[in-house]
């Protein structure tokens, strides 16, 4: 019973931590969102969907997909680094 309460507590804390991340999409504008072009996580480079449903958010009109909310937090620490990584990957795809 104690393990069940601990498990539920951990789930609730994780859900509360993810709420601000999930609300980052800018719905104030009706500008179209540029779709995410890669099949891998922008932060860790793992194939998306292997570890569950990807975490999706919008950053400056660009859809971003990562494995989970903790990686979205990593993205938030240095978004310019990851946006450059995305631009470089897109350039390779166009070749």
Total-model pTM: 0.68
Q: Which DSSP string corresponds to the chain?
A: -HHHHHHHHHHHHHHHHHHHHHTTS--SS-PPPBPP--SB-TTT-PBTTTTSSPEEEEETTEEEEESSHHHHHHHHH-HHHHHHHHHHHHHHHH-
Determine the structural domain holding residue 36 and report its residue range: 2-94
Instruction: List per-residue pLDDT tens for the chain, 95 residues long.
Output: 677 666 666 766 666 565 444 444 455 567 799 999 999 999 999 999 988 999 999 999 999 999 999 999 999 999 999 999 999 999 988 87
Number of separate domains in the chain: 1
């Amino acid at each position: 019973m104690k393990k069940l309460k601990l498990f539920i507590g951990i789930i609730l804390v994780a859900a509360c931590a993810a709420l601000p991340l999930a609300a980052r999409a800018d719905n104030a504008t009706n500008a179209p969102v540029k779709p995410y072009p890669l099949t891998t996580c922008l932060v860790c480079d793992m194939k998306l969907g292997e570890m569950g449903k990807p975490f999706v958010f919008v950053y400056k009109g660009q859809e971003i997909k990562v494995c989970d909310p903790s990686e979205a937090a990593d993205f938030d620490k240095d978004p310019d680094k990851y946006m450059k990584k995305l631009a470089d990957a897109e350039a390779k795809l166009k070749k």
